[in-house]
Chain A
Amino acid sequence: MSTEPFLVLSALLFTIGAFGVLIRRNAIVVFMCVELMLNAANLAFVTFARHHGNLDGQIAAFFVMVVAAAEVVVGLAIIVTIFRTRRSASVDDASLLKY
């Protein structure tokens, strides 16, 4: 079996993730779709690492996972904070939020 099918799978997942970011309204689900895109990139990294026979791609995948873990912390803190504010009575500004 060759590495190509893995790359096709990765491209499909990336596309599905990007599609999701464009159509979903809930910020948390949008964020999940971004995670799908990062995972697609990871699959591409690992596949290419296999293809080239070096470890760089796997290291990249590992680093991306750490970054994603930090990203989820930052993102959810921001999203939960704004949720609490918007639910409270004080809506003093016009909404510029797209999602």
Chain B
Amino acid sequence: MIDRQKIEDFLYQEARLLDQPDLDTWMTLFTDDGVYWIPGKENQTDPLNHISHVYDDRVMMEIRRRNFVHPRSASKDWNVRCSHIIGNIRANEVTEPAGAIEVTSNQHVVVWYRDEQRVYAYRGIHVLIPADDSFKIRSKRVNLINAEAPQQSLTIYL
């Protein structure tokens, strides 16, 4: 039985951490083998044999969150603030891994960076594992609607 309210609460909690942003807490939402993926093209099936914008496991998240606050990273001198709006949430139980729930959502993210305001739009696919009356993220896939377009620097997870 899928508890939609719990799933929505979890997505909003994640979005809030990215909005602030608080990457240290955000990455604790992932399972130890969790991955975060922004594919480089529509309908990409393979993260290793085709280019992606980002494909991070926990180790890369550990490095990225430290780099994000490092005083000697010039691109991080500019604060980044985000506003996620989440809609069109659908949830289905899946068998791989056992007990997991696949959640799809549409996410619009307004990003403030370098005195500019930009909009990203993506279809998110979260694979969530029930844990402690909430969830852990086994994988988060960010399908940007403009994945193939020239991109500007992005210093934050979406």
Q: Do A and B come from one complex?
A: no
